[in-house]
A and B are shown apart, each in its own frame.
Chain A
Amino acid sequence: MHRFAKPSVFLKITAPILPWLVGATVILIASGLYFSLIASPVDYQQGATVRIMYLHVPAAWMGLFCYVGMALCGAMSLIWKHPLADICARATAPIGATFTALCLITGSLWGEPMWGTWWVWDARLTSMLILLFLYLGYIALVNAFDDPERGSKAGSALALVGAINVPIVKFSVDWWNTLHQPASIVRVDGPAVDPSMQLPLALMIFGFTGYYFVVLILRVRLELNERRIRALHLSGMFDDNGENSTAETKPYDPSHNAEASQ
């Protein structure tokens, strides 16, 4: 496990996977769009608005999935101090925030025609909004420190404490009265969604998950590049001819950042 946590190993493993992942994601989302917009029936009660479900449910799933991933990475980063765990958590946050926001927006666009309101302050919607704020808080927090290690510590703690919100989102429809419908896919009696609607839903869920991993790999690479740039600047090799003698790098002491100065 520890071996795979090395950034160089991560790059070596993901490089050949990435093109296949991109291909699979494109196929899944394209076929998912075909089935969700064209080749699936309208709902007998909700009419064509059921087509919003094929975006809303996968986006909600991704919002929660990304958060669980981010919190687990945060835990690993706190316990084992793996730089890659911290990088994965940072790379996941904007993706999860995007999907959570999309879940809220598509939910609003679905709620207006079906419930007669864009928004209600019930448990499901409110806990989902809190999820979005947790993502935004995490992003703001990890970037608020000059020392990335301190930022990651604070961010990981926030991600872990906020993880309590995940089961609240999931079970809010059972615990409190709400306009929101109860769980219809992951439930004890099996899915309550008609098979003709399960197919586009599954395609979109897998497609969005594929998209997440594609963007995750790219963002991890981005984060690794930025760390390498920071390390090169901190190592002081650029000080003598003034390339990097700006005031912002002066307060750093390279010895504080053992990992970066390697």
Chain B
Amino acid sequence: MTEFFSMGGYASYIWPSYGITALAMIVLLLATLRGLRNSRRELDQLETVLQARRPRRNRKSRKAT
């Protein structure tokens, strides 16, 4: 096990490589998911407001159809 972590003496190069790569890929994914969640929430809010108003705004056109 110690042998595995020492990576033939190159541990200080190999583990940072894997660590930074994992970190960057996870951060990018999480940032994307967070942005997606926030945008969805904002969109929902806007659409709720829109929905509430639609009957008043579209009363004429709705009767026509």
Contact = CB atoms under 8 A, between A and B. Distances in A.
The judgment on whether A and B are partners is yes
Interface of A: 33, 37-38, 42, 47-49, 51-52, 55-56, 59, 94-95, 98, 101-102, 105-106, 109-110, 112-113, 211, 214-215, 218-219, 221-222, 225-226, 228-229, 232-233, 237-238, 243
A255 B53 CA distance: 22
Contact of A102 (B4, B24, B39): B24
A7 B17 CA distance: 37
B39 A225 contact: yes
Nearest to A225: B39
A225 B43 contact: yes
A228 B20 contact: no
Contacts of A215: 28-29, 32
Interface of B: 4, 7-10, 13-14, 16-18, 20-21, 24-25, 28-29, 32-33, 35-36, 39-40, 42-43, 46-47, 49-50, 53
A110 B49 contact: no
Closest 4 CB pairs of A and B: A225-B39, A48-B8, A48-B7, A106-B17
Which of B13, B28, B50 is the most central at the interface, judged by chain A CB atoms within 10 Å of its CB?
B13
Nearest to A111: B13
A14 B13 CA distance: 38
A110 B4 contact: no
Given A48-B7, A52-B17, 5 more contacts: A48-B14, A49-B14, A51-B7, A222-B36, A238-B46
